[in-house]
Amino acid sequence: MEYKGIFDTHAHYDDEKFNDDRDTVLSNLAEHGVSLVVNPACDLESCEKTLELSSKYDFIYSAVGVHPHSAESDGNGDWLEKVKEFAKNKKVVAIGEIGLDYHYDFSPREKQKEVFAAQLQLANELELPVIIHDREAHADTLELVKKYRPKGIIHCFSGSAETAREFLKLGMYIGFTGSVTFKNANKLLLAAQAVPEDRILLETDCPYMAPVPYRGQRCDSRLIPATAEKLAEIRGTDARTLIDHAFENGCRIYGINPEDIK
Ligand SMILES: [Zn+2]
């Protein structure tokens, strides 16, 4: 089935996996019903890359920030000033992606927390929402969200229904990727049922997280319907309705006026 009005609220088109055909993929998205994309950065280098993409394509918006994986390598010197400078670009709609990753632990946990906290404060100062990556770090993420009370999104949600409810109470939006279609997704599907229709977001996190039946392939925003269909099924609605709600929610949290996109 074909859908229209798809908002991929989290995609990494600056990733090297798109180096051979990036413009072809991006130019074809509209034909497949994808009308909006937010491309978050992971480190200072990808901040520049995402800004190039969002200046080239009207339908792409950017988020700038330093991911926990890069906290150790990039969170030094005047890094925060650089993020702040990037955030002045008019296509920047959020600080992200930022957060904590205790699965890979690529940066020491104390350094992750320091870099995360600094960017939560920056987002509040700039009145921008945050895009939070929380992998096996729910308790510490929750603690910092409670402390700084940002507006924003828990992206590629991977927690329980109980954790989702905690974040919802703090006003956060919850983003779901293709991981809801994976075999072991039972806990995640219970969480997806706990999110009200005005707080749910659809995202790919591409090039990763391709939904079943595309699992293992390079993902892009055209695969969102497979995620939407699974979520709709578990929530007792239809994919069309879910895609519409997710579009409105995405525009609301990122402060995007869909009329601005040609
Ligand atoms: Zn991501």
Domains annotated for the chain, with CATH where assigned, are 6-260 (3.20.20.140)
Q: Tens digit of pLDDT for each residue in 65-96?
A: 999 999 999 999 999 999 999 999 999 999 99
What residues flank ion ligand 1 with Cβ within 5 A?
205
What spacing in Å lies between the alpha carbon of 78 and ligand 1's midpoint? 24
Reference 161, options 236, 234, 241; nearest CA is: 234
What spacing in Å lies between the alpha carbon of 43 and ligand 1's midpoint? 11
Give the pLDDT mean for 108-122: 98
Q: Which residues contact 155 (CB under 8 A, 6 or more apart)?
A: 9, 10, 40, 96, 97, 131, 132, 133, 175, 201, 203, 205
Say if residue 1's pLDDT is above 80: no
Q: Tens digit of pLDDT for each residue in 222-258?
A: 999 999 999 999 999 999 999 999 999 999 999 999 8
Angstrom distances, CA of residue 94 to CA of 118, 196, 206, 216, 240:
14, 22, 18, 29, 26
What spacing in Å lies between the alpha carbon of 221 and ligand 1's midpoint? 13
* Confidence class for position 262, pLDDT limits 50, 70, 90: low
Residue for token pair 């019903």: 33
- Predicted confidence at residue 104, as pLDDT, reads 95
Q: What does the CA dihedral 163, 169, 171, 175 come to, rounded to 10 degrees?
A: 30
* Confidence class for position 260, pLDDT limits 50, 70, 90: confident
Global model pTM greater than 0.85:
yes
What spacing in Å lies between the alpha carbon of 11 and ligand 1's midpoint? 6
What spacing in Å lies between the alpha carbon of 201 and ligand 1's midpoint? 14
What spacing in Å lies between the alpha carbon of 209 and ligand 1's midpoint? 10
What tokens does 188 get? 């995640």
The DSSP line for 240-255 is HHHHHHHHHHHHHHHT
